[in-house]
Each structure stands twice: as C-alpha cells, then as structure tokens.
Amino acid sequence: MEILSALFVDNVDLRPAEGGTSRIDLTGVQFSAVAPTPLPLTWAPHLSVIIRCAPDEPGTGVLEVVYERDGERLARNVQPLEVEPGKFTQRLVRGEIDFEAYGTIVAKCRVDQGPVLNVPYTMLAPPSS
C-alpha cells in the first residue's frame, strides 16, 4: 500500500459518482493557522490521508502518523487499514497538538514500514493590533 496524499483540511465529503465510482471532496486545505487564543493552546487539525492498495497486495496494513516538532514526538496515531486490492481508501487522522510556542510541526505519515510522507503545519501568531 502507498500514501497518495496527506493534507490538513477543514472537511471531507465522500460521494458516489457515475458508474459506481466515488468522489472525495476536500475543503479548507491548509498548512497553517493563526492561533485563536493566546498560547499555550491545544490544536487538533484534521489530516486527510488517501491510500492506494495495488491489485497484487494483500489489502491489510497499518497507517501511522507521528507529529513532531524539532525531532521531538508530540503525538502518535496508529490505525489498522483494510483496503480492497486495486482500490483506494481515505482516513481522517485527528491529532491533538500542544503549542507552547509559535512554529511548525510535521506530521510524518507512513503505511507499515514504507516511506515517510512529511506534512508541515504552522501555528502563527495573531496579527498585532
């Protein structure tokens, strides 16, 4: 299995399409946010991960997402995957991240022991008035 994309989003909608196919509508794709309150704060962005299973693969695996800041592990999410060979699946991962300083965290995504896909997310300071 392989990860095709991983994006922080506001919302994910799955809908049927013509001929028995499906559509995934991602809205509010983002790589940063302005802190809504003074720090420290806990932020829980939604990470949409789309995974493909090749026709000759068994269809089972494990999705792991590790959130890191400067090499320090902040949170980890692990979930089993079951994907029909030759098909795709989408998983929504919600990690609660503590921000004590403004800056960037990285969601490190992988299936089983496969390659890591790094997805950055930055918490920004509110504009000064």
Note the residue count of the chain. Answer: 129
- Does pLDDT of 71 surpass 80? yes
Identify the architecture of domain 2-123 in CATH: Sandwich (2.60)
Residue 127 is predicted with a pLDDT of 86
Distance of CA 62 to the CA centre of its chain: 14
| 8 compared with 21, residue with greater pLDDT | 8
Q: What helix, strand, coil percent values describe the chain, rounded to 5?
A: 0, 65, 35
Q: Please give the pLDDT value at position 108.
A: 98
Are 44 and 96 spatial neighbours (Cβ–Cβ below 8 Å)? yes
Q: What is the mean pLDDT of the chain?
A: 94
What's CA 45's distance to the chain center, in Å?
A: 8
Q: Where are the domains of the chain?
A: 2-123
Residue 121 CA to residue 54 CA, distance in Å, equals 29
